[in-house]
């Protein structure tokens, strides 16, 4: 806006260099921000776990590791409340791992389930969780074949935590990767975003907001199979389920890994009115709100129509939309064309999206 | 969505932008300060600057509640939170604000019981549910949030809740605007006035800006078209050689404010002789404290507060940014040492802070962004 744009550009270049520096964990203690899926989580993973475990299978930091013709992944579930409209911790734990495998392009096959239970937790609740896990496993076509149970003293856990791991088989030659997006590719979102996150916030009962919303938790493996079957090998570049940190975080991960820009249009991104309304009231952006049954797909421009038709043919994808495209410049950045007609960056958040006070 | 979409219409924006450009006198540069952090957030979130001609620069002002909290007050609050049986409650924005010894989030990780609430009434509810605990509400914000703090104290009294208190950090907007107007290193042509504050204080308190300083001020709403329209109203005033207080946000802001809210503030709180603002230093009669009549709800009287003053880091230029003297990117540490992950200054913390808004939403060459988003 001013005449000193040259100077501003220099400063901005310097900032980009600073951002490319290796992540370093500065905190002395774990804070809640480390678990929110944003920058703090990335720094922790790269600064602690990748440092310690570094190997070629882990390094891409995809949703799961691909080993020969097999995909392998794990996920832990600590949701509060345990039961919420549209699901519970049980189906979430099954669907989460099923989806991580599906995002690798794999057919999910076998799951493990670990339970960390708090002394005093009602057995009736555990039965209910186990039943919904069984139903979810059946729906996704997977079997829970091994498990573990631990009980901790009262106060040492929040009722029940569930950890699942899973393996799937890669039946197709296509290898999906967050680093595979290329300029010109289409960016597809499989359905309305943010329903799970807002449902959980409302189910906690702290907000006194009423909305007719249920979690979007669902297994996406049928949807991904339909998409991959419809498109030629290599035409689907990348699939990611938009869990913690929402669609914005997934897009940033893809832009960063592919060293490409992603440009999305705010007014095409599907968001249900109840989610939008709650987000407006809380001052948070639905792009950062977690989904448990929605994914982002990067598909070649030539296959975009085919991909969309395939997604529309499945109930979980009938509201899928091409929301943007991949560009070459500026690399690593996600840009949003706002519904108002302006432009802005969509960055990774540091931690959870925090409601604004006024 | 009704009451939202009609204020975000791109066609209306384009038409308004053309009228704004037509009002700019050739060769003249305009600098308008949006006082309120909510406006800063709106400007970046919707990309409003894309509609403004080169000649118009928006300068981001001091109206971000967490940005002006000095580090010493954060340390004091963390000290209170560390006392036995204390539950500290706070708005979400406050959780990451750095004091001299870390933020609420850090203190929480070290074991303090600090909980995020959405309203002071939630804090009162926690007090009722935990009668053996001492529940403190970290009260921050301008006249926008002060009434809800005051009403909560009145409710606590009415309900006989005696384990609830307020650590009052409420500030008032007028002295801050005056400090900016008196700052020698600043040239502003006009103000976009704070909308939410004005729902409480009304528009009259701004008259000195037009009368004594000869600057137009337009109280504006928070939707993007509100901001564009207020820019248009300011330029119209300047073109017609007028300077007045105008109310663009009349659908929400009554000219005389909200007498009930003001009465609640006056009942429970009183002006402090002076208060430190982050980056701006001490400003006299610029903040509120719980008055003696409600001493039993005043955390400053209940707890021993260290009250230490922590000098802002020398590298931090929050003060210049808050006064609009520097643009965020002109600060020495912006984006390198000071980032949203490792904020040095408060402007980098809240999504309403000028630096955080610029870093998260606007940190890139406008030209390259325009090129990339061209269809």
Q: Is pLDDT at B39 greater than 90 in this prediction?
A: yes
Q: What pLDDT is stored for residue B374 in this prediction? A: 77
A325: chain B residues, CB-CB within 8 Å: none
Pairing verdict, β A343-345 and A334-337: antiparallel
- Which chain A residue has its CA at the smallest distance from B43's CA? A342
* Residue whose C-alpha is closest to residue A331's, from A179, A176, A104: A179
Q: How many CA atoms lie within 13 A of A311 on its CB side?
A: 26
Average pLDDT of B171-193? 91
Indicate yes or no: CB of B1 within 8 angstroms of CB of A273. yes
Indicate yes or no: CB of A356 within 8 angstroms of CB of B44. no
Indicate yes or no: CB of B51 within 8 angstroms of CB of A341. yes
Average pLDDT of A315-333? 95
Q: Is pLDDT at B366 greater than 80 in this prediction?
A: no
Give the gap in angstroms from C-alpha A240 to the nearest C-alpha of chain B: 23
Q: What pLDDT is stored for residue A4 in this prediction? A: 62
> Lowest-pLDDT range, A222-236, B90-104, B241-255, B265-279?
B90-104
Q: What pLDDT is stored for residue A2 in this prediction? A: 44
Q: Is the peptide bond before A330 cis (omega within 30 degrees of 0)?
A: yes
How many whole angstroms separate alpha carbon B329 and alpha carbon A17? Answer: 15
Whether residue A13 lies within 8 A of chain B, CB to CB, comes out as no
Domain boundaries, chain B: 5-66+175-247
List of E strands, chain A: 65-67, 70-77, 83-84, 87-88, 107-118, 143-152, 160-169, 186-189, 236-241, 261-265, 295-299, 321-327, 334-337, 343-345
Higher confidence at residue B336 or residue B161? Answer: B161
Q: What pLDDT is stored for residue B3 in this prediction? A: 79
**Interaxial angle between packed helices A89-103 and A221-230, expressed in degrees from 0 to 180 and rounded to the nearest 10:** 20
Q: Is pLDDT at A358 greater than 60 in this prediction?
A: no
Q: How many CB pairs under 8 A join A and B?
A: 172
Whether residue B105 lies within 8 A of chain A, CB to CB, comes out as yes
Q: What is the pLDDT of residues B133-144, one digit of tens each?
A: 999 999 999 999
Q: What is the pLDDT of residues B268-323, one digit of tens each?
A: 999 999 999 988 889 999 999 999 999 999 999 999 999 888 888 888 888 888 77
Collapsing DSSP to helix, strand or coil, A324 comes out as strand
Domain architecture of chain A: domains with CATH: 1-61 (no CATH), 64-169 (3.30.1330.10), 178-345 (3.90.650.10)
Indicate yes or no: CB of A343 within 8 angstroms of CB of B370. yes
A277: chain B residues, CB-CB within 8 Å: 1
The dihedral of CA A35, A40, A46, A47: what is its sign? negative
How many whole angstroms separate alpha carbon A185 and alpha carbon A324? Answer: 9
B47: chain A residues, CB-CB within 8 Å: 336-338, 340-344
Q: What pLDDT is stored for residue A156 in this prediction? A: 94
Q: What pLDDT is stored for residue A354 in this prediction? A: 64
* Among A residues 292-331, those touching chain B with beta carbons less than 8 Å apart: 327, 329-330
List of E strands, chain B: 30-36, 56-63, 86-90, 114-116, 134-141, 164-170, 190-193, 217-219, 245-247, 269-271, 274-277, 281-284, 288-290
Give the gap in angstroms from C-alpha B45 to the nearest C-alpha of chain A: 7
Q: What is the ipTM of this complex?
A: 0.88
Higher confidence at residue A79 or residue A204? Answer: A79
B69: chain A residues, CB-CB within 8 Å: none
Average pLDDT of B114-139? 96
Q: What pLDDT is stored for residue A1 in this prediction? A: 43
Whether residue A206 lies within 8 A of chain B, CB to CB, comes out as yes
How many whole angstroms separate alpha carbon A133 and alpha carbon A330? Answer: 43
Average pLDDT of A51-74? 94
Of A33, A345, A351, the CB nearest to B361: A345
Domain B5-66+175-247 top-level CATH class: alpha beta
Q: How many CB atoms lie within 10 A of CB A214?
A: 14
> Lowest-pLDDT range, A31-45, A97-111, A225-239, B245-259?
A31-45
> Lowest-pLDDT range, A82-91, B61-70, B124-133, B204-213?
B61-70
Collapsing DSSP to helix, strand or coil, A94 comes out as helix
Indicate yes or no: CB of B4 within 8 angstroms of CB of A327. no
Give pTM, 2 decimals. 0.92
Of B10, B327, B360, the CB nearest to A347: B360
Q: Would you list the DSSP string of B296-345?
A: GGBHHHHS-------PPPTT--HHHHHHTSS-GGGSTTBTTTB-SSS-SS
Q: Is pLDDT at A329 greater than 60 in this prediction?
A: yes
Q: What pLDDT is stored for residue A304 in this prediction? A: 98
Indicate yes or no: CB of B341 within 8 angstroms of CB of A14. no
* Residue whose C-alpha is closest to residue A75's, from A196, A164, A162: A164
Q: What is the Cα gyration radius of chain B?
A: 21
Q: What pLDDT is stored for residue A39 in this prediction? A: 86
How many whole angstroms separate alpha carbon B367 and alpha carbon A145? Answer: 56
A39: chain B residues, CB-CB within 8 Å: 340-341
> Lowest-pLDDT range, A241-250, A307-316, B323-332?
B323-332
Judged on CB neighbours under 10 Å (0-12, 13-18, 19+), A179 is middle
Of A336, A339, A356, the CB nearest to B352: A356
Q: Which residues, other chains included, contact B241 with Cβ-Cβ below 8 Å and sequence gap of 6+?
A: none
> Lowest-pLDDT range, A31-35, A94-98, A259-263?
A31-35
Q: Is pLDDT at A162 greater than 50 in this prediction?
A: yes
Measured CA to CA in angstroms, residue A209 lies from A204, A292, B250 at distances of 11, 21, 27
Q: Is pLDDT at B156 greater than 90 in this prediction?
A: yes
Of A26, A340, A356, the CB nearest to B351: A356
Average pLDDT of A260-287? 93
Q: What is the pLDDT of residues A15-49, one digit of tens each?
A: 888 887 777 888 889 988 898 888 889 999 999 99
Average pLDDT of B203-216? 97
CB B40 within 8 A of CB B358: no
Q: Is pLDDT at A355 greater than 70 in this prediction?
A: no
């Amino acid at each position: 806006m001013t005449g000193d744009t040259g100077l501003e550009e220099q400063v901005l270049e310097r900032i980009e260099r600073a951002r490319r520096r290796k992540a370093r964990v500065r905190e002395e203690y774990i804070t809640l921000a480390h678990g929110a899926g944003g920058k703090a989580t990335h720094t922790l993973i790269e600064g602690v776990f990748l440092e310690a475990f570094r190997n070629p299978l882990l390094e891409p930091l995809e949703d799961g590791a691909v080993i020969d013709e097999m995909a392998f992944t794990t996920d832990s579930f600590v949701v509060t409340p345990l039961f919420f409209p549209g699901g519970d911790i049980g189906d979430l734990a099954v669907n989460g791992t099923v989806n991580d495998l599906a995002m690798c392009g794999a057919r999910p096959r076998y799951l493990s389930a670990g339970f960390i239970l708090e002394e005093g937790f009602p057995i009736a609740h555990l039965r209910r969780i186990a039943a919904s896990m069984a139903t979810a496993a059946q729906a996704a076509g997977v079997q829970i074949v091994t498990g573990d149970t631990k009980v901790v003293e009262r106060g040492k856990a929040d009722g029940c935590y569930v950890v699942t791991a899973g393996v799937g088989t890669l039946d197709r030659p296509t290898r999906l990767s967050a680093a595979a997006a290329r300029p010109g590719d289409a960016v597809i979102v499989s359905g309305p975003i943010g329903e799970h996150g807002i449902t959980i916030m409302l189910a906690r009962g702290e907000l006194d907001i009423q909305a007719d919303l249920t979690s979007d938790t669902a297994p996406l493996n049928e949807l991904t199979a339909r998409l991959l079957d419809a498109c030629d090998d290599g035409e689907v570049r990348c699939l990611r389920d938009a869990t913690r940190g929402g669609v914005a975080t997934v897009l940033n991960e893809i832009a960063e890994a592919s060293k490409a820009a992603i440009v999305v249009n705010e007014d095409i991104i599907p968001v249900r009115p109840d989610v939008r309304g709650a987000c407006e009231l809380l001052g948070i952006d639905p792009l950062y709100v977690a989904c448990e049954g929605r994914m982002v797909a990067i598909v070649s421009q030539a296959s975009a129509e085919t991909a969309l038709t395939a997604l529309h043919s499945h109930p979980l994808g009938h509201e899928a939309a091409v929301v943007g495209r991949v560009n070459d410049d500026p690399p690593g950045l996600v840009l949003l064309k706002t519904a108002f007609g302006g432009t802005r960056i969509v960055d990774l958040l540091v931690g959870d999206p925090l409601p604004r006070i006024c | 969505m009704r009451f939202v979409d009609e204020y975000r219409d791109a066609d209306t924006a384009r038409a308004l932008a053309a009228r704004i450009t037509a009002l700019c006198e050739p060769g003249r540069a305009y600098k308008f300060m949006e006082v309120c952090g909510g406006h800063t957030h709106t400007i970046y979130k919707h990309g409003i600057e894309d509609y403004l001609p080169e000649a118009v620069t928006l300068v981001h002002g001091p109206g971000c509640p967490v940005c002006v909290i000095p580090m010493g007050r954060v340390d004091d609050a963390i000290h209170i939170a560390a006392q036995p049986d204390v539950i500290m409650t706070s708005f979400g924005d406050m959780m990451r604000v750095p004091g001299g010894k870390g933020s609420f989030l850090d203190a929480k990780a070290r074991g303090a019981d600090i909980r995020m609430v959405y309203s002071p009434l939630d804090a009162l509810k926690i007090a009722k549910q935990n009668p053996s605990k001492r529940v403190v509400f970290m009260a921050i914000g301008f006249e926008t949030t002060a009434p809800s703090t005051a009403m909560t104290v009145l409710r606590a009294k009415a309900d006989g809740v005696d384990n609830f208190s307020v650590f009052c950090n409420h500030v008032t907007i007028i002295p801050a605007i005056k400090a900016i107007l008196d700052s020698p290193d600043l040239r502003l042509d006009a103000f976009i006035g704070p909308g939410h504050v004005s729902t409480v204080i009304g528009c009259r308190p701004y008259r000195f800006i037009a009368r004594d300083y000869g600057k137009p001020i337009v109280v504006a709403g928070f939707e993007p078209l509100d901001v564009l329209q207020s820019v248009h109203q300011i330029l119209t005033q300047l073109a017609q050689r007028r300077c007045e207080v105008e109310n663009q946000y009349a659908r929400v802001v009554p000219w005389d404010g909200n007498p009930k809210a003001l009465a609640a503030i006056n009942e429970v709180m009183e002006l402090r002789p002076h208060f430190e603002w982050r980056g701006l230093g001490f400003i006299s009669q610029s903040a509120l404290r719980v008055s003696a009549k409600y001493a039993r709800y005043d955390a400053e009287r209940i707890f021993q507060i260290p009250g230490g003053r922590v000098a802002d880091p020398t590298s931090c230029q929050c003060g210049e940014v808050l006064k609009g003297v520097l643009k965020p990117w002109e600060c020495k540490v912006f984006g390198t040492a000071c980032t949203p992950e490792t904020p040095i200054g408060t402007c980098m913390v809240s999504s309403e802070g000028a630096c955080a808004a610029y870093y998260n939403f606007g940190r890139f060459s406008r030209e390259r962004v325009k090129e990339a988003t061209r269809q």
